[in-house]
Amino acid sequence: MIVTYTTSGNITEIVVDFSDENVELVGRTSVVGDQQKAEAYLPFFERDLRRNFAHLFPQPEQTNTMGGVE
């Protein structure tokens, strides 16, 4: 995940780009405050993007096991 912060006045824009994970998704949001406030909000923003666009992210393969034997 590539994160960019841009502060203008009392507003900081967060841009999150998932291209390094081979996912074509870029999310943008703004927070009131400096980069430190934006960094504190980032984990929540990232979680929401991953949940809302889960279909874009590769899912781990599931194996079926019965009785502990594959």
- Contact (CB, 8 A) for 4 and 18: no
Tell whether 70 is covered by a domain: no
Q: Tens of pLDDT along 3-36?
A: 999 999 999 999 999 999 999 999 999 999 999 9
Tell whether 39 is covered by a domain: yes
Tell whether 65 is covered by a domain: no
pLDDT band at 62 (very low <50, low <70, confident <90, very high): confident
What is the value of pTM for the model shown? 0.80
The whole-number average pLDDT for the span 53-60 is 87
Q: What is the pLDDT of residue 65?
A: 66
Tell whether 62 is covered by a domain: no
Tell whether 17 is covered by a domain: yes
Q: What is the DSSP letter of 57?
A: S
| Number of separate domains in the chain | 1
* Alpha-carbon distance values, 45 to 1, 3, 22, 38 (Å): 12, 11, 19, 10
Q: What is the DSSP letter of 66?
A: B
Residue 40, φ and ψ in degrees, nearest 5:
-70, -30
Tell whether 47 is covered by a domain: yes
Its domain, for residue 30, covers 2-54
Tell whether 31 is covered by a domain: yes
Distance from chain centroid for Cα 51: 9
pLDDT band at 59 (very low <50, low <70, confident <90, very high): confident
